[in-house]
Structures are given as C-alpha cells and as structure tokens.
Amino acid sequence: MRILVIEDDAETAAYLQGGLQEEGHVVTLAADGRNGLMLAATGDFDVLVVDRMLPGLDGLAVVRTLRASSVGTPALFLTTMSGIDDRVTGLDAGADDYLVKPFAFSELAARVKALGRRPRATAATTTVLRVADLELDLIKRTVRRAGQPIALQPREFRLLEYLMRHAGEVVTRTMLLENVWDYHFDPRTNIVESHLSRLRTKVEKGFAPELIHTLRGAGYCLREPG
C-alpha cells in the first residue's frame, strides 16, 4: 500500500517508515501539516498516518480540510492524548481510527492494513459474510458452519462478525476491545481471550480446517485455509 506519514518528530517518522516498509508498504514522509496536506490532496495514497500535534497546521485541521475537499483517503490519527473527548473530536474531524502513543508497532501495522482494505469490507449491500464454509447472516443473526446452525451469545456474534469483516487481516486485542466491546481502555482481565476461546469451541470443534488463528504477540486472524 502507499502510505503517507505526516509526523514532525524525525525519529518517530523514521521508525514508522522503516517498519511499514518492512511490511511491504511504500511510505512517503511529510514533516509538517502544510506539506502533508498538499501531498495528501493528490489522493495518491491508500492510508494516511497523521500525528495529531503538528507544527503550523495540526493533524485535526489537515484531516478536516481533506474531508471538506472530498478526499476520502482513510486516516489514522496518532496522539498522545487518550481522553474520550480527544478521540471523539478526532473521529468527528474525519479520522477513521485513532491510536494513542506509545503503541506497539504491530498494533499500528494491523490498523493500517485494516484501514487500507476498508472499502471492500464495508460494502453496504453485504448481508451474509462467508469465509470458507462459515456463514454469518447479518439480517437473521444466524451462524452456520458447513450448513449446521451454531448458537452464539450476542457478544460472540459481534466478535465473529468483526473477525469475518476483517477476514485475512490481523486484528489486535485492542482493536477487538474497541470495536466489539466499545472499551477504550485496557481491562487487566483478558476478556477477549476468554470470549475467543468460547467462540472457537463453538465454531471450530468438530469442524475442519481451523479458521481462527492466534498470532503470538500480534493478535488474531480469521482466514481461509491454504
């Protein structure tokens, strides 16, 4: 993917560039809001990574200006502020995701990937999600594997839905907490792991092949076998 990183701290910028390039992305750097805005306005990027605090034009203004001129490139905000108000203003300005510094690089990589594939995943007309022989009906709220109905708790249903919408992508624990549980803080108790193991039991036991994978130190991935 082509990624534009707008970040004024040179060290962080180099770190992001190096990491994202290792993941196989093409990375362009902009050191301030004005340059970043000019580059982003060309629309040549798949994802924008925008530091919220920038000299001159700040990240909030950059994204707001882009959205006002109908540039819809998905944007990920990086910030040191974790308050709910900051998150809400960021999302209101038109950012698509929000990541609080400091973060693990794997977290950023997963979110950037998720943002880059967004259009396909959020196709509005989709009412049934399918991965291999697993089927999730969004209207009837039912799940079948190999044609057999599987009963899920509401939270397990949402968890599976999120994993299936991001099939083939790595989703992190924090992404699941934010999107499935709406927890914007990290509980000490690993509620994700517990729900996921139950979901696995229901979706995988007696079926083959395995669809939900745990990637140590990175997150989870639901993908087609092979």
Partner 1 sequence: MSRVRRFRNSNFQLALLYAGLFTTSILVLFALTYRTAADYAAQDEADEIDVEFVAIQDEAHLAGDGYLPQIIANHLRQRSSEHAAYLLEDAAGQRLAGNIAARAPQLGPQNLRVPVDGQWRELRAHGYRLANGDYVLIGQDPRALRDMKHLIARAFSVNAAITLLLAVLGGVIISSRALRRVDALGRTTQAIVAGDLSRRLPLRGTDDEIDRLSANVNAMLDRIEDLMRSVRQVSNDVAHDLRTPLTRLRQRLEQARRRGDATPQELREVLEGAITQVDSILETFGALLRIAQIEAGGRRRARTTLDISALLSGVVEDFAPAAADRGQLLLAEVTPGLQLSGDREQLTQMLVNLLDNAIRHSGAGARIVVSAHASTAALEIVVADTGPGIPAPERDNVLRPFYRLESSRTTEGSGLGLSLVAVIAKQHGATLALADNGPGLRVTIKFVKNGAAARRSDAHVTLSDAFVQR
Rounded Cα distance, 77 and 203, in Å: 35
Q: Binding to partner 1 (CB under 8 A): which residues in 119-148?
A: none
Q: Is 198 in the site for partner 1 (CB under 8 A)?
A: yes
DSSP 29: E
Q: Which of 140, 188, 205, 216 binds partner 1 (CB under 8 A)?
A: 188
C-alpha torsion 201→202→206→211, nearest 10: -80
How far apart are CB 208 and partner 1 at their closest, in Å? Answer: 25
Nearer to partner 1, 97 or 169 (CB): 97
Segment near partner 1 (CB under 8 A), from 11-19, 120-128, 143-151, 176-184?
176-184
Q: Report in angstroms how near the CB of residue 105 gets to partner 1 at its nearest.
A: 11
User: Nearest 5°: phi and psi at 213?
Assistant: -115, 145
Find out whether 79 and 53 touch, Cβ atoms under 8 Å.
yes
Interface with partner 1 by CB under 8 A: which range of 37-45, 76-84, 111-119, 131-139?
76-84
Among 168, 187, 206, 225, binds partner 1 (CB under 8 A): 187
The CA–CA distances, whole Å, from 218 to 84, 165, 175, 183 equal 25, 18, 11, 19
Phi and psi, residue 9, nearest 5°: -80, 115
Which of 83, 119, 168, 209 binds partner 1 (CB under 8 A)? It is 83
Q: Does 42 bind partner 1 (CB under 8 A)?
A: no
H/E run at residue 24: none
Tell me the closest approach of the beta carbon of residue 193 to partner 1, in angstroms: 8
Q: Is 191 in the site for partner 1 (CB under 8 A)?
A: yes
Of 15, 162, 183, 207, the one binding partner 1 (CB under 8 A) is 183
- Binding footprint of partner 1, residue count (CB under 8 A): 21
**Concatenated DSSP letters of 125-147:** T--EEEETTEEEETTTTEEEETT
Task: Measure the CA–CA gap between 86 and 119, rounded to whole angstroms.
Answer: 26
At 58, list the tokens.
């700040």
190 binds partner 1 (CB under 8 A): yes
Residues that bind partner 1 (CB under 8 A): 82-85, 102, 153, 155, 181, 183-185, 187-191, 193-195, 197-198
